[in-house]
Structure 1
Amino acid sequence: MPRQTRLILCPINLRHVQMEYSAYTEAVEMARRRGARLIVATVAPEIERNMNIYNSEAYWGEELKKFVAAHPADGIDVELIVRKGATHRQIVKLADERNVDLIVMESANPKVQDYLLGTTASHVVTHAECSVYVVRN
C-alpha cells in the first residue's frame, strides 16, 4: 500500500530563484495531485554578506512572500518558513521537526555542472528521514 503524502517541504534558494525554480513548480503540482499541504522554506545565512540587510530573517521572509505571490499555489495550503543557519542542516532539521513526508528540492547550485549532485541535496538525501525528490536543473 503506497504511503500517503500529507506534507511536502520545498526549500528555496532565493539567491538563485531567478534562474531556476523548477523544484517549487514540481512541489506545487505534487501537493495539488496528492492533496498535501506545502511548506516553502528558505534559509538565511548566519552572517549576512549584504551589509544593507540588518535583519536577515525579516528580509528573506519578505523575499519569500514575494516569490510565492509571484508564483501562486492556488488551492494548496502553503506555509512559509525562514530558518537561519547552515542550509543543509536546517532543511533536515525542519523536515524532522514537522514530520514532513517528502522534500522536493533543486539538485545543485546553478554554477555546478549538470552531472554533479549539489552538496546541499547530497546531505539532505543522506540524512533526511523522509523521501527526497531531487529535481535536476
Structure 2
Amino acid sequence: MSRDTKLILCPVNLRHAKSDYGAYEEAIAMAKRRGAKLLVATVAPEFERNLNIRDSKGFWGDELKKFLAAHPAEGVEMEAVVRTGAVHRQIVKLADERNVDVIVMESANPKVQDYLLGTTASHVVTHAKCSVYVVRS
C-alpha cells in the first residue's frame, strides 16, 4: 500500500549548492510524481564565521531566494524556510513540526567520498519520524 505524500522537506546546503544539488532535483521530481508540496530549507549558523555577515538568517534567506530563482520548480507548490542552529537538529525539528512525509537530502559533504554517510544525514536518518530518502552526491 502506497502512502499519501503531501509534504516533502528538502534541506539545501547553500555553501555547496553551486556544485551539488542532486537532492533538490530529486525532491522536485518526487513532488511532481506525488502531487506534493515542497518545503525547501536551509540552516543558518548561530554564530557566523564570516564577520561581514551581521544578519546570518537574513543573509542565508536571500541566498536561498537566489538559489530557488536560479533553479525553479515548475509545477510544484513550494515554500522556503530558513532556520538557525545545528543543521542535523533543525532538519529533524522542522520535519516534526510540519508533519513532513519524507525528507530528501544529500548523503554527505562533497569532501566525503563514496561510501560514507555524512554526520548530518546519519543523524537525520536515525532521528526523523518520517521516511528519509538519501541521494548520493
TM range (shorter): over 0.9
How far apart are residue 23 of structure 1 and its match?
A: 0.1
Tell me the equivalent position of 1:74: 74
SS at match of 1:117: coil
Q: Which residue of 1 aligns with 2:4?
A: 4
Q: Which residue of 1 aligns with 2:121?
A: 121
Cα deviation, residue 113, structure 1: 1.3
Note the aligned Cα RMSD (angstroms). Answer: 0.5
Question: Structure 1 stretches (4+) deviating beyond 6 angstroms?
Answer: none
2:13 corresponds in structure 1 to 13
- Gaps of at least 5 residues in structure 1 are none
2:29 maps to what in 1?
Answer: 29
Q: With structure 1 as the length reference, what TM-score do the two structures score?
A: 0.99
Supply the distance in 2 between the matched residues of 1:125 and 1:50 (Cα, whole angstroms): 30
User: How many Å separate the matches in 1 of 2:113 and 2:65?
Assistant: 30
In the alignment, the residues of structure 2 paired with residue 109 and residue 85 of structure 1 have an alpha-carbon distance, to the nearest angstrom, of 18
Deviation at 1:90, TM superposition (A): 0.1
Query: Quick one: distance in 1 between partners of 2:46 and 2:114?
Result: 28
The offset of 1:112, in angstroms, is 0.7
Q: Which residue of 2 aligns with 1:53?
A: 53
Percent identity of the aligned residues?
A: 74
Corresponding residue for residue 62 of structure 1: 62
